[in-house]
Amino acid sequence: MSLLIKGGLVVTATGSYVADVLAENGKIVAIGVDLGNTADEVVDARGKYVLPGAIDPHTHLCMPFMGTYAQDDYKSGTIAAACGGVTTVIDFQIQQKGESIRQGLNRKMALAEGMVAVDYSLHPAITDPRPEVIDEVKQAILEYGTPSFKIFMVYDFRVDDATMIKLLERTRKHGGLVQVHAENPHIIQHMNEKLEHEGKLAPYYHAVSRPNIAEEEAVERAARLAEFTGSRLYIVHLSSREGLAKVKEFRSRGIDIYAETCPQYLLLDEECYKEADFGGAKYVMSPPLRTRESNAALWGGLKAGDVQVMATDHCPFDFNGKKDMFGKDDYKKIPNGAPGIETLLPLLHSEGVVTGKISLEKMVDVLATSTARIFGLKDKGAIEVGKDADIVVFDPARKFTIAQDKLHMNVDYNPYENRDVTGMPEVVFSRGQRVAEWQNDRVEFVGVPGHGRFVKRVPLRD
């Protein structure tokens, strides 16, 4: 099976040029000025961008959480991913009490088996750090193909600093990476009690209860422990100007600290929590939406290279029956999370590249190239000979108005409803197979669930 994409603007993390791209049996085998016209499938990409498929390294598919579950399973979630130009997903496998890392991975892989529409990997999230689990980190890095480990500094299933130190040491030794959800639980607990006492329980107070300092302090503590152990560290879903300032400070001291942010922390702010009719509940996520100052700081962080990865933290809960039921009288009970896997690329292009906040090459870097490098996805993340033919032919001029009923995520609302975007995927390929394409007024899935494979990632050695 061969695929020839002709005459598009091939975009890499460092530059762009017009070329043909030839793929055979799922791999890119040639890139050149005129590679002829003979292939099983020929795509005219003149006037279009040829991008590496985006990688979303932060999703919660089928996740039980706060008394309910994230609604997208591996089928609907990866169909939505494909339609948004995301061709690799790294999902979280949150360890259950008593489980080994291997058992947790097997549990999630069984759910994914035969369902995934694009390739996927898993990050074990360590919540029950028994000594044998800490010992298993080596195997997870070297044998299971999962070299990144998430820990939570907040929630009931958080780990303590001693566990963080142990994980940082093990990952340094064997080529792994610790990812942290950085929020200080004591500040949040204190604010929760205070707000409860004052009867302030509407969705807006979710943001008040988790002030910027809660992120700033946790980023600083994690970074100090990474400095102490000489390890690399990755901050997930960075949301605040203050948290970013800490990332910058430690990076300037030579600490290997990476940061990820998400479209919601660039484009939405705490005013959303005031939406009428309990609508603010749609935006209840942790960390919370911040102010416009934080939005602007994070755009600056992306541009300057202090934030290296864009992800979604895709964690969908219906508004009707979930968001509006669980926390009607108390923001603390509203399931935390929001959908986003399908809108990542269109939003970053429209709001970042079209507005001139970041370059096209930076977009490719933070959506694919740098993500693949940081997480050990050696065959993904770039339009290069030898890489998987995960390719998005992207129409930079296509107009689309984001609407929940034109998208594929299994959820009843969209945080960006009615937002106009410029630029949408025209055709999406996963290892050379067409999985999604623009038809009439939206992108449609044209692939096969089960085509996606578990990708073993390599240890991180640079």
Of 408, 397, 399, nearest to 316 (Cα)? 408
Answer with the entry of Zn ion, ligand URP, none that 87 interacts with (C-beta below 5 to 8 A by kind): none
Answer with the entry of ligand URP, Zn ion, none that 336 interacts with (C-beta below 5 to 8 A by kind): ligand URP
Query: Quick one: 75 or 150, whose CB is closer to Zn ion?
Result: 150
Answer with the entry of Zn ion, ligand URP, none that 270 interacts with (C-beta below 5 to 8 A by kind): none
Answer with the entry of ligand URP, Zn ion, none that 285 interacts with (C-beta below 5 to 8 A by kind): ligand URP
Least Cβ distance, residue 149 to ligand URP (angstroms): 14
Least Cβ distance, residue 338 to ligand URP (angstroms): 7
Burial bucket for residue 25 (CB in 10 Å: 0-12, 13-18, 19+): exposed
Query: Quick one: 64 or 305, whose CB is closer to ligand URP?
Result: 64
Q: Which residue is nearest to ligand URP (CB)?
A: 336
Instruction: Compute, in degrees rounded to 10, the torsion defined by CA atoms 209, 212, 215, 219.
Output: -160
Answer with the entry of Zn ion, ligand URP, none that 171 interacts with (C-beta below 5 to 8 A by kind): none
Query: Quick one: 336 or 433, whose CB is closer to ligand URP?
Result: 336
Residues near Zn ion (CB under 5 A): 181, 313
Least Cβ distance, residue 243 to ligand URP (angstroms): 14
Least Cβ distance, residue 335 to ligand URP (angstroms): 8
Amino acid identity, residue 58?
H
Residues near ligand URP (CB under 6 A): 60, 181, 285-286, 313, 315, 336-337
Least Cβ distance, residue 94 to Zn ion (angstroms): 10
Output the six-digit token pair for 258: 């990476």
Least Cβ distance, residue 313 to ligand URP (angstroms): 5
Query: Quick one: 104 or 447, whose CB is closer to ligand URP?
Result: 104
Query: Quick one: 20 or 269, whose CB is closer to ligand URP?
Result: 269
Query: Quick one: 144 or 152, whose CB is closer to ligand URP?
Result: 152
Residue 272 CB contacts under 8 Å (≥ 6 apart), including other chains: 280, 282, 283, 289, 415
Least Cβ distance, residue 156 to Zn ion (angstroms): 13
Output the six-digit token pair for 9: 């603007």
Interior angle at CA 139, CA 134 and CA 144, nearest 5:
125
Least Cβ distance, residue 183 to ligand URP (angstroms): 9
Answer with the entry of ligand URP, Zn ion, none that 48 interacts with (C-beta below 5 to 8 A by kind): none
Answer with the entry of ligand URP, Zn ion, none that 337 interacts with (C-beta below 5 to 8 A by kind): ligand URP
Q: Distance of CA 44 to CAs 2, 4, 201, 421, Å?
A: 15, 9, 55, 23
Query: Quick one: 149 or 445, whose CB is closer to Zn ion?
Result: 149
Q: Measure the N-to-C terminal CA separation of the chain; round to a whole number of Å.
A: 35
Task: Give me the helices (H) in 230-274, please.
Answer: 241-252, 263-267
Residue given tokens 């591996």 in the structure block: 74
Least Cβ distance, residue 203 to Zn ion (angstroms): 19
Query: Quick one: 12 or 286, whose CB is closer to ligand URP?
Result: 286
Contact 217, 187 (CB under 8 A): yes
What's the alpha-carbon Rg for the chain, to the nearest Å? 21
Query: Quick one: 59 or 350, whose CB is closer to Zn ion?
Result: 59
DSSP code per residue over 398-445: EEEE--GGGS-SSSS--TTTT-EEEEEEEEEEETTEEEEEEETTEEEE
Residue 215 CB contacts under 8 Å (≥ 6 apart), including other chains: 182, 183, 184, 238, 239, 240, 242, 243, 287
Q: Which residue is nearest to Zn ion (CB)?
A: 181
Widest pairwise Cα distance in the chain: 72
